[in-house]
Structure formats: structure tokens, C-alpha cells
Structure 1
Amino acid sequence: MTAPGNNYCELDDLAESTEFLAKTRHHIHHNPELSFHEVDTSELVAQNLAQWGYQVTRNVGGHGVVATLKVGHGTRSVSVRADMDALPILEETGLPYASRHAGRMHACGHDGHTTMLLGAARHLAATRNFSGTVHLVFQPAEEAGRNSGAQQMIADGLFERFPCDAIFGLHNHPGYPAGTFMFGSGPFMAASDTVKITIHGRGGHAARPHLAVDPILIAGSLVMALQSVVSRNIDPTQTAIVTIGMLNAGIAANVIPESASMALSVRSFSPAVREQLQQRITELVTLHVQGYGGRVEIDYQQGYPVLVNTEAEAEFARGVAEELVGPARVIAPFGPVTGSEDFAYYLQHKPGCFLRLGNGDTPMLHNASYDFTDGNLTVGAAYWARLVERFLGQEKIA
């Protein structure tokens, strides 16, 4: 870590940007766009960055935008990423800037993430207080679950076209005080897999169950059996989650249906545990259904991998936060976080750190009443500006 100096970005340096940042976020929040459809958001981002003097590359991995600024003769480079997409949720905040599109909402704070990075971009372009190259990565489709924006930007040559020595990103975190930073090294966020199960029985009359193979009975029994996977198969010192989020069957009380369907969310923090979960769930479901005389189809979909922060970059990022807001507003170590993030794909290629920023006492993420805290906008923008300045050297460039 470079020795701290007194010429890096401070919170007060972003005070004059408060109105601009709030207006920008409210505009993005009012006009949400779902994964793979971030046309207007990416154009807003690109236009601002071009106006501030960045070399702007559009349509990276879809609607992705990468803004590059090289200052001085420094040879190091750093990337910072923000996500842009919204969720298919009907907003219930009642805010004056609430979504104008029914069924679309920024319920995860990506409007805030994008705005914070824009605030940092504006400050960095005005001050140019570094020597080296910064790439600002505005990513689409983080919420996609599979074939996400990170995967598509990487496939489109992100790291070959915009090489960097490290990459950083963050996500807001309701339930912790706004302006509080949280860090962890190593496995920090979970791998997330989805399992779709279709149980085929034999339909019949409710009055003659002995002539049928009841898929609802099988599904109900399977719900309980699946609870044993973590409690009796996974090392108790490891973190793993199996949640049954969907169970559908039948349309009438007096009819035994032909089939029942289930969907599971499976979370883990190590490749070995992830593999063990898939093997055990597949075996248990198959044999359990067969034991009742049914037949089963299992579609096991691996989603985002474990997000693993590298130790040196996590320590560097933590140090920047302590300089900016003081040690009392920094929590380290923090985690593990059982949510998942496609930022994990970047960290399979480059060292870096993904961190959390407290959003205050707000509803949880993906909730129809959630809203990003505007007070975090200057904090996040100042943090990203300072991190870039610290990573790319401490001498002011004329």
C-alpha cells in the first residue's frame, strides 16, 4: 500500500456535486431498464463521460460502456466497475422519482452504483490527480443470473482491450449505517445455483389414490428430505444453503395431478462444497422420487461462481476507506455474504476487491419499497476517486 498523502480526494471535494449526483440517480431510477435493455442508461453514461474528456467505448458485451482516461506517464492501470440494470419488480415506494415503467424498478441500487462511479469520473477528469490509466466499466445485465453482463464483457475482450492491474467494485448493503464500508478477503460472496425439478407421477381421482402415483405427496416428502443435505452431508464448518423457493402442482382438490414442479436456490463458498451439493441433491432427488414410484427430470443450472477477493487488493481498498471516512466507519473482516455477484467472473481473471457500502435502515434489496440512499452518492464517488488516485500514485500531475 502506498503511504497516505494529503492531496487525495476527500469527502468535502464532492460536496459541490451533491445536486448533480442526486438528479442523475433520480433520473436513472425514474427510467429503469432491465438486463440486456440498458439502451438509454448506457447512452446517458457515455454522453457524460465523453463530455468530461474520457475515451468512451460503447457496446462492450452488449450495452456495456468503458471509459478510459490516461494521465501522465505512469504504467499502472486500474478498473472500477458499476452495474446499470434494474429488476422486474412493481415499485411501491411512492417517491416522486419512482419508476415510470410498471413492472420495472431499481430495487437493488444499481442506479446508485452507476451514479457514484459517474461522480468519481467527473472528479477525476477535473483534477487529474494521478499518473497512469483508469478504466471505468459500466456493466449491463448483472441481474441476468446466467450469461450475464460480466461474462459477455469478458468474452468481448474487456481485459485485452482495456488491460488493468486490478479491478474493484461495490454493492450497497441495507441494514448497516449509510457510509459504512465493509471488506473481506478470500471467499466473500456465494456461488449461486438453481435446480429445477419436475416430478412425474400418475394422475387420478382423489377418491382412488391407490390407483395413482401422487406427485404432490412425493414433492412434500422431498421438501423435508432436502433439508438433510446441508445438515447431514456438508461439513458444519462450511457455509451452504439449500432453499426451496417454488413448488407448484395441481388445479383442483379432487384431482391427483400428473406432475409437480419445484425450484431450488443453492449457495456455497467453495468449489468442493458446490460440487458436493450438486452430487448429493441429484442423487437424493432421483432415488427419493423413484422410491415412491415416480419419475423425475432435474435441470441443475450453475450460476455465478464464488466471489473471491484477493488479500492485497482487499487490504488496499480497506485502507483507502479508513483514510476517507475513518476506522470507526469501516468493518473488516466482514462476511461471508450469501448473495451472489457476477463480479466474481472478473476476479477469476484479475486481482481485485468487491466491497459493501451500508445503505442505512432501508428495506432489503429486491424489495418493492427499497430505495438507494442519496447520502451515499458523495461518499461512494469520493471513495472511488481516492482509490484511483491512491492506486495510480500520489504525485499530482500538472
Structure 2
Amino acid sequence: MPVLNRIAGFASEMAEWRQHLHTIPEIMFDLPKTSAFVAEKLREFGVDALHEGIATSGMVAIIKGRGDGPVIGLRADMDALPMVEETGLDYASTHDKAMHACGHDGHTTMLLGAAKYLAETRKFAGSVALIFQPAEEFGAGAQVMCQEGLMDRFGIDQVYALHNAPGTPVGHFYTTPGPIMAAADSFRIYVKGAGGHGAMPHQTRDPVVAALAIATAIQTIVSRNHYAMNDLVVSVTQIETGSADNVIPEYAFIGGTVRTFDKDVQAMVMQRMQQIVEGQAAAYDVDAKLEYEVGYPPTINHADRAEFAARVAREVSGVDAVNANQTPEMGAEDFAYMLEERPGAYLFIGNGDTAGLHQTSYDFNDEVAPIGASFFARLVETAQPVQGD
């Protein structure tokens, strides 16, 4: 049975919560309406303690079980994306240029569903810490919560999170031991030459050809500077320069992203990129400056916790619905910071045949929420069973 009976009984309520959250998307740490709604529901459910204002708008709700025991952490992200929604839904975003295009409204709803069930039943030992986090998309909210003492303050021993996966059948899960998502760095390259008339290039130091040469040379980092079996992505995603067809500009800009799993590979990319920028600048007689920003670290599951979580997922959805050896993805996730501090695992749950993440037509599938809530609930009950039950 994919959904616990009690959770199935309030599945329609969960859809209402989720659709309400969808109408009020908020960005980064500024989540006043979202956090207020979540806090209201948690108090309504009767959690034992609610700690608000962590990382500005984040919160942790504590539910105590039966008797002494450890503390298990469950995390949901609450923030949205700065996008204009184009779904045409009755419950579409009412906030200008903000949209729940990654399903964080669904993630929050799944954890709220688990909270309602766990507060009612309390069929577990120890405690559960329900972590509602801001700023996953931008701002590294998980890192900020950890820096503010999340794990030690609440005595969390292990921690788990779910993310929806469009294109994967509803009720299916996938995860893997070790790296599951990549580190995400960004780079910006500023090229300065000497502009002039497009008909007299000999009187200029053209930053455009230098920028194109730099962008082309950067691609050789993947093809010629790293072992092919080590995952690596280097993508130039921005080239900006010029204002008219007969003007050679003074400046050019290059931007992009780097995705890695291994710190040595990351260090190699940083070194080679600096060498390429300096070398091409000299070759084309321009000035060039590289700004390389190290972003979220790789999301690395602890092997035994990933296998444990997969076992629970199989109990919820069946053996054939769980892939415990999924190929890692090159996307990034700030839950990585929590996994650096405590053992745990990150899993994906199928969203069905829907639009993809970060698309203006995306919507979280409400059929998924009771399944995810059941997984969270069973995770707690299995990890921390009541003695004698």
C-alpha cells in the first residue's frame, strides 16, 4: 500500500495546502506568507515545540515520540523561483515574477503531511525535527541554518530530504549511495580591449575575438584535461558584448557554470581556467580577469543511510518502484551542507509525466504528496521504533 491509511484520509487537505502555497511563492529568505502558513499548520497539528526565525524565515518543529531516543531530521525547502508562471491554473501565482517552478510547495506539503500524522500517532521513540528551510534556489539556506547551529541545537543524529522528479512515475523513488548531485560553481570573465570603428580593426584591441577564443578554449578543459571517467561539466552560458554592427566594443563578458563531484577535479578546473584566461589575454593583447565562485558542494549520500531510505521506500511503494543505484545528476542542491554535518540521504520521488523543473508550465503533482508524507512517516517509525511494538 503506497499511502498510510491515516495520511490517505487527509490527502484532499494536503492538496489544498499545496495549492495555497502555490499561489504565494516567495524568493530566497523573504518568505513571510509561506512561513506564517507553515507555522500556523504546525501549531494546529500540536507539535511539541516550534522554533522560528532560523536563517531569517526558516523553522524547526519538534515532535516527541514515546520514550527516550535519538533525533531524526526531515527537511523541506520552501522558496520559489523568480519566474513568471504560465500554467493558467486556478491556483496560479498571485505574486509578480515569482513561481513555484521547482515543486518546493509540494516538498513543504509532504513534510506538513508527515507532521500531522506523526503528531497524532507518535509511534516512534525519541524525537523528530522537521526542518523547513528557506533559500535553497539561491542563498544556500541550508548552509545558513547549519551555521546557526541547526544540528547541535536540536541534537539531530541523521537527516533526510525528498525532491520531486518529473518524468519518473508517481510513487517511484530513486537514490544512490555516495554522490547524487554535483557541486555547482560559477565563473565570470571580464575582457577589456580598445574599441573603435568596425571598418578599422587594426586600430583596436578587439575583446570580441579574445572572448570567443577564451570560450572555445575553456571547452578543452573537459575534453583534454580530465580523465573521461570523472564526471565534469563546464558550460559557457553567457557572452555579452557590443552595441552596433559597425563598432568594435571595449568590453566583453563571459559567464557560465562548472559542475563537479571531486575536489581535485574542481581544483584542476579552477587552475586551467585561470591559465586559459591569462594566456588568451596575452595572445590577443587584451586585459582579462577571471572571477571564479565556489558554490554548493556535491550532495553525497551516506551509503548505509541511502540503503536504509531505499528499504523504507520499497515498503511504501514496492520493490520494483525503487532504484537504489541511480546515476548521479549534474544538478546541485544545498542539502549537501546538511549531509556534510550529519549522516543521511537525499532521494527523488516521481512527479509523473509533467513539465520539467524550472519551466514556466511546471506544477507539482498533488498525487505525490501523500506518498512522500508516508515515506517520511515510515522513515521515522522504522529508524526509531518504539520498544515492544
The reply on whether 1:158 has 2:153 as its aligned counterpart is: no
Contact 1:130 1:393 in 2 (8 A): yes
Structure 1 counterpart of 2:115: 121
Which residue pairs with 2:23 in the alignment?
30
Q: Counterpart in 1 of 2:285?
A: 293
SS at match of 2:325: coil
- What is aligned with 2:160? 168
Q: How many aligned residue pairs are there?
A: 388
| TM alignment of 1:88-167, pairs within 5 A | 88-144=82-138, 146=139, 148-167=140-159
Structure 1 runs, 4 residues or longer, greater than 2 Å off: 8-13, 394-397
User: Are positions 1:64 and 2:58 aligned together?
Assistant: yes
Aligned-partner Cα distance in 2 for 1:359–1:321: 15
Q: Identity over the aligned pairs, expressed in percent?
A: 44
Once the 2 structures are TM-superposed, how far is the Cα of residue 177 of structure 1 from its aligned partner?
Answer: 1.0
The alpha carbon displacement at 1:138 in A equals 0.1
1:231 maps to 223
Deviations 1:11-40 (A, max 9, x none): 333211111100000000011000011111
Using the alignment, how far apart are the partners of 1:365 and 1:229 within structure 2? 28
- Please tell me whether the aligned partners of residues 13 and 382 of structure 1 are also in contact (alpha carbons under 8 angstroms): no
Aligned residue in 1 for 2:246: 254
Distance 2:193 2:5 in 1: 66
1:11 aligns to 2:15 (yes or no): no
Which of the numbers 368, 373, 378 marks the counterpart of 1:381? 373
Q: Which runs of 5+ in 1 are unaligned?
A: 1-7
* Alignment of 1:358 onto 2:350: yes
> What is the Cα deviation at residue 396 of structure 1?
7.5
Q: Secondary structure at the match of 2:155?
A: coil
Residue among 13, 16, 25 paired with 1:20: 13
Residues 227-254 of structure 1 deviation map (CA, whole Å, 9 limit, x = unaligned):
1111100110100001111110011101
**Contact conserved, 2:168 with 2:352, CA < 8 A, in 1?**
yes
CA contact (8 A) 2:215 2:254 kept: no
Partners of 2:385 and 2:27 lie apart in 1 by: 38
Deviations 1:359-383 (A, max 9, x none): 1122221111111111101100111
Task: Determine if contact 1:199/1:261 at 8 Å carries over to the other structure.
Answer: yes
The CA distance in 1 between the partners of 2:225 and 2:167, in whole Å, is: 32
Give the distance between the partners of 1:283 and 1:163, measured in 2 at CA. 46
- TM-score of the aligned structures, taking structure 2 as reference length: 0.97
Deviations 1:103-146 (A, max 9, x none): 100000000000000000000111111111100000000011x4
CA–CA separation in structure 2 for the residues paired with 1:244 and 1:363:
25
* In the alignment, structure 1 residue 216 sits paired with structure 2 residue 208: yes
- Aligned CA RMSD, in angstroms, stands at 1.4
Q: Distance in 2 between matches of 1:71 and 1:171?
A: 26
Conserved in 2, the CA contact under 8 Å of 1:81 and 1:168?
yes
Q: Distance in 2 between matches of 1:333 and 1:350?
A: 21
Q: Do the aligned residues in 1 keep the contact of 2:239 with 2:253 (CA within 8 Å)? A: yes
1:143 match: secondary structure: coil
Q: Distance in 2 between matches of 1:269 and 1:39?
A: 35
Once residues 346 and 36 of structure 1 are traced to their aligned partners in structure 2, the CA distance between those partners, rounded to angstroms, is 18
Kept in 1: contact 2:177–2:302 (CA 8 A): yes
TM-score (normalised: structure 1): 0.95
The answer (yes or no) to whether the contact 1:90–1:104 under 8 Å persists in 2 is yes
| C-alpha displacement of 1:223 | 2.0
Per the alignment, residue 44 of structure 2 pairs with 51
Question: Unaligned regions of 5+ residues in structure 2, if any?
Answer: none
Change (3 A) 1:74 1:10: farther
One-letter amino acid matched to 2:14: L
**Of 70, 79, 92, which residue of structure 2 is paired with 1:76?**
70
